[in-house]
Amino acid sequence: MTVRLIVGVLAVLAAACGPAQGAGEGVEGRIVVSAAASLTDAFAAVAVAFEEAHPGVSVALNIAGSSLLREQIREGAPVDVFASANTANMDQLVASGDVVAPEIFASNLLAIGVPAGNSAGVDGLDDFADEALLIGLCTRDVPCGEFGRLILARAGVVPALDTDEPDVRALLTKIEAGELDAGIVYVTDVASSAGVDGIPIDPKDNIVAEYPIARLTGSANPETGDAFVAFVLSAGGQEILGRFGFVVP
Amino acid sequence: MTAVRSTRTVRRPPAVLLILAALGMAVFLIPLVGLLARTPWRDLPALLVGDIVTDALRLSLVASLGATGISAVVGIPLAFVLARVEFPGRAVVRGLVLLPLVIPPVVGGAALLFALGRRGVIGEPLHEATGLVLPFSMWGVIIATTFIAMPFLVITVEGALRNLDPRYEGAASTLGAGPWTVLRRVTFPMIGPSLAAGLLLTWARALGEFGATITFAGNLQGRTQTLPLAVFVALESDRDTAVALSLILVAISLTVLVVLRERWWKVL
C-alpha cells in the first residue's frame, strides 16, 4: 500500500514539476488521475486505452483509499481527475468546491473474499463472528470498510476483527497470502485475483457501491481532464470497466 | 608568529555555506511548523486522553521497548561477532544487517509475512506445532519493529568495538582476567556511550515504525495499532486526533534525542 502511495505521490510531484498547461491547448500533456484502490486494474487499462486514443497524452495514476485521495486533494495536491469508490468522499469535495457535478460511471457489489480453497470453511457472514478465525475488513473510513460494516450490521453480525486494513488492496493481499481467513471485498477484486475465492453476500444485506468521477476545478489541464472523464463514461471506457467485473450504467 | 588560530570554530563562514545550511535546517523544520500550525491546542488535552490515543501510546511503548530489549539481547552479541570474529561471509552478514535500513519497510513487512505468516516458510510449521499465529498479534508488531530498528544498535556497537584499542583488553587478559571478565569490566565500559547511543537510536526508530508493522501485523486498535498506524488511519477521518498523536510522537522523540544527546551521543 505504502509503496503505491509513494509512487502516487511521486507521480503527483512529477506532474506538478512538468510544464504548465495553459487553457485552450486541447487534449494533450500530462494528467494525474486519483483513483480508488478498487479501480487499480480497471483504471490501468482505461488509462492505456485513453493514451492510445490521444497520442501525446500521458496519464499518471495515483492509487490509494478514496478517503486518503480526498485528503490529498483537500490539501491541494495537483490532481486533475478524481474517481472515488463511494459518493461520500466525492460529496465532501463538492461541498468544498474542489469538484462540480460528479457523474456515476460504474457500480460494484461486495462479496466475502476467502483464500483460494477456503481452508477455514467460511460459508457466510455468520463466520465473521468466529473468534477462532482471522477476519479482516478495511478501515471504517475507506468505502470498502464502510460498506463491510454496513453489510455486517444488516446481517446482525458483530465481527471478531483481527485487522483494519488501510485499503481494499491491502486487505486482498492478506487474504491472498492466506493470512486472513475472510474479509469483505468487492466482487471485482475477487474476479481479478486468482488467489482469492468469492462467496456471494445475500442481496438483502449487500450494498451497491456507486463510483463517481469528476474533473477537479483546480485542474492545471482541464481539457485533458474532461476528455478523460468523457472517455470513462463513453462506450469504450464502459466496455473496459465491464470487462473487469464492474456493473456499468 | 604568535597568531594562534582556533581550529575548532570557523570565525567567518562563507555566506553561501550559511545559506545552504539554513536550507538544510529548513528541511527538518518545515514539517514541524506544518504540524504545529494545524494543532488544535484548545482541544488537545481532551484528544490526548481519548481511547485511540491511549491504546496506541501503550502499544507503542510496549512494542518499542520490547524491540529494544530483543535487539540488546541478540544484537550486541551479533555486533561483537561481526567486529571481532573472522569468518567466511562476514561481508554478506554485514550487508544483511544493513538491509532493513535501506529497503522500504513495507517490503520488509511483506518478507516477514511470507516467512513467518501462517502460510509462511517458518510460520506454517510453527503454527502447526504450537498454534501460534504471529501476524495480527503484539508479537508480530514486536518482530516487525525489531527487524527495522535493530540495525541501528548493531552498526553503532560494531563501529565502537572496531575503534576500541585492543591493547586494553589484551592487558586485562595478561593480568589474568577471563574472557567474560574482560568483556564485563573492560570492553563494555569502554564502549558504554556508543552502546547507550545505539540503544537510544534503536528505541527511537522502533517508536516510529510504520510500514513493516502494518504489512506484517495488521492494524487493530488495542491490539496492533501503534502510534504511527493510528496517525495514518486518523488522518483520513479525524485530523485533530491525527495531529495530537503526531505531536506525542514528535515530543517524545525530540525530548529524548535532545536531552540524551548531550550525555551519550558525543561519540557519534
What ipTM does the predicted assembly reach?
Answer: 0.76
Rounded CA-CA distance A68/A66 in Å is 6
Partner A contacted by B100 (CB < 8 A): no
Q: Which of B106, B117, B218 sits opposite A2 (nearest CB)?
A: B106
Paired residues of A185 in beta bridges: A111
At residue B178, the pLDDT reads 87
Q: What is the pLDDT of residues B158-175, one digit of tens each?
A: 999 999 988 888 898 889
Residue A3 predicted with pLDDT over 60: no
Q: Which of B119, B225, B237 sits opposite A178 (nearest CB)?
A: B119
Q: Are A209 and A86 in contact (CB under 8 A)?
A: yes
Collect all residues of chain B within an 8 Å Cβ-Cβ radius of residue A141.
233, 236-237
Residue A105 predicted with pLDDT over 70: yes
Q: What is the pLDDT of residues A18-39, one digit of tens each?
A: 444 333 457 889 999 999 988 9
Least Cα distance to A209 among A240, A247, A153, A244 occurs for A247
At residue B239, the pLDDT reads 84
- The size of chain A, in residues, is 249
Collect all residues of chain A within an 8 Å Cβ-Cβ radius of residue B107.
3
The model's pTM: 0.79
The nearest CA of chain B is from the CA of A158 a distance in Å of 15
Rounded CA-CA distance B166/B260 in Å is 28
A67–B237 CB contact, under 8 Å: yes
* Highest CATH level, class, for A2-17+27-107+210-243: alpha beta
Q: Which of A71, A162, A163 sits opposite B235 (nearest CB)?
A: A71
At residue A14, the pLDDT reads 46
In this structure, what C-alpha cell is assigned to residue A67?
Answer: 478517503
Question: Considering only alpha carbons, which residue of chain A is nearest residue B135?
Answer: A179
Which residues of chain B are under the pLDDT cut of 70?
1-10, 262-268
Is there a common fold for A2-17+27-107+210-243 and A108-208?
yes
At residue B58, the pLDDT reads 94
One-letter-per-residue 3-state SS of chain A: CHHHHHHHHHHHHHHHHCCCCCCCCCCCEEEEEEEEHHHHHHHHHHHHHHHHHCCCEEEEEEEECHHHHHHHHHCCCCCCEEECCCHHHHHHHHHCCCECCCEEEEEEEEEEEEECCCCCCCCCHHHHHCCCCCEEEECCCCHHHHHHHHHHHHHCCCCCCCEEECCHHHHHHHHHCCCCCEEEEEHHHHHHCCCEEEEECCCCCCCEEEEEEEEECCCCCHHHHHHHHHHHHCHHHHHHHHHCCCECC
Mean pLDDT for A116-136 is 94
Domain boundaries, chain A: 2-17+27-107+210-243, 108-208
3-state helix, strand, coil in chain B (%, to 5): 80, 0, 20
Q: Are A124 and A112 in contact (CB under 8 A)?
A: yes
B117–A134 CB contact, under 8 Å: no
Rounded CA-CA distance A110/B172 in Å is 71
A67–B236 CB contact, under 8 Å: yes
Amino acid making up residue B70: I
Domain boundaries, chain B: 15-267
Q: Which of A7, A69, A70, A139 to mutate: most B Cβ within 10 Å?
A: A139
In this structure, what C-alpha cell is assigned to residue A50?
Answer: 485513453
May I ask the CATH architecture of the domain B15-267? Orthogonal Bundle (1.10)
May I ask the CATH architecture of the domain A108-208? 3-Layer(aba) Sandwich (3.40)
Look over chain A and give the mean of its residue pLDDT values, rounded to a whole number.
Answer: 88
Collect all residues of chain B within an 8 Å Cβ-Cβ radius of residue A174.
113, 135, 218
Q: Which of B105, B117, B211 sits opposite A179 (nearest CB)?
A: B117
